Amino acid sequence: MKAEIENGTRRQIKGVDSVHYDGYWIRYYEPPQDTLAAKKHLIDVLTKRLFHHTEAGINTPGEKLDEARAAYEREEEPTRKRVNGAMLAGALFNRATDIFTMVVELEQKGVLISRQNELMKQCGDYFQEALELGKHVHHYSGHEGIDELWGEPLKAFLLPVSDFYDSRYMKIAQAMRDIDRITKQLEQTLCKEPVYATLKPLFRELALEAKTVCETLRKDPVMFELWPHFVAAGEAVLAFAPEATAAKLPRARNDAGKRIIQEAKALIGYLASARVPMTKSAVKFAARCEDYLEQYGKPGRKRSGRAA
């Protein structure tokens, strides 16, 4: 039995400085110094990334916080109230980053602000409230809200920078595990059918490229090499056409298989880009695969009274 590798173990893997978390070797980046200026830059990047991955219209300026709160408290219709809650969460995040920017500017002028200062406490409170409202926010695709992303600015505010980086590696490992699970579910659902035999290596290539993109910071120059490989792998999956014997299958079954392929490809793309797990979406995809097998039977087996 192989000895279990401890989380945080560092090693050169294929010439890349890597760190091990939860069964995955992940590209390692040296954290910056733990200063307020470094935290501000980190929070700015995380907040920008947060709004990039969420639905449109919720990046509310911090100075609109009171108006956003009033609208949220006033709204009663559930669907509209959810959107107002998302807009309020956006305003809270932006207000918190506005305050933190001022604190950093004061520090740069020689005015030191302690953690116990009222501004710092207020900043933390805004981040915390925004996190609690994060359940109202959807991914830009319409999928579940990515709660993990909403927690990151608060973690960056509260934790030492090095500890925050450790927490990110854990989330990346979880995202990689979701990618592997989705790939395995697709293979078990479709790839045992002869007509889908050539899909398996295409999806494995997509999963491999997705995990490579997932572990790599967007500012890393190597992304100019990695991203085209990832996009090309995704396009190859979408261009997949079942073997000619697919004509023997009912059209509805072919269409159902195509939808599973498209959904799996999209979900893997979301995971690679967001770099956090999407647990609810992964569970929904697994349920869709189960529904397919329930309706059409296990690969290679016909169900009585139904189209095989």
Give the confidence band of 72 by pLDDT, cuts at 50, 70, 90: very high
- Tell me the residue length of the chain: 308
Structure tokens belonging to residue 124: 């933390």
> Residues 154, 91: one domain?
yes
> Residues 237, 265: one domain?
yes
> Residues 140, 191: one domain?
no
Averaged pLDDT, 282-293: 92
> Residues 131, 153: one domain?
yes
Q: If you search the block for the tokens 């030191």, which residue do you land on?
A: 112
**Which one-letter DSSP state was computed for residue 4?**
P
> Residues 122, 50: one domain?
yes
Which residue range(s) make up the domain with 132?
A: 36-158
User: 11 lies in a domain?
Assistant: no
Structural domain total, the chain: 2
> Residues 100, 186: one domain?
no
Averaged pLDDT, 102-116: 82
> Residues 52, 134: one domain?
yes
Can you give the pLDDT at residue 305?
Answer: 35
Cβ neighbours for 270, distance < 8 A, ≥ 6 positions apart = 139, 141, 143, 278, 281
Q: pTM of whole model > 0.75?
A: yes
> Residues 255, 188: one domain?
yes
Can you give the pLDDT at residue 245?
Answer: 53
Residues forming beta bridges with residue 16, ordered by sequence position: 13
User: 64 lies in a domain?
Assistant: yes
* d(C-alpha 131, C-alpha 154), whole Å: 8
> Residues 149, 177: one domain?
no
User: 72 lies in a domain?
Assistant: yes
> Residues 147, 205: one domain?
no
Give the confidence band of 146 by pLDDT, cuts at 50, 70, 90: low
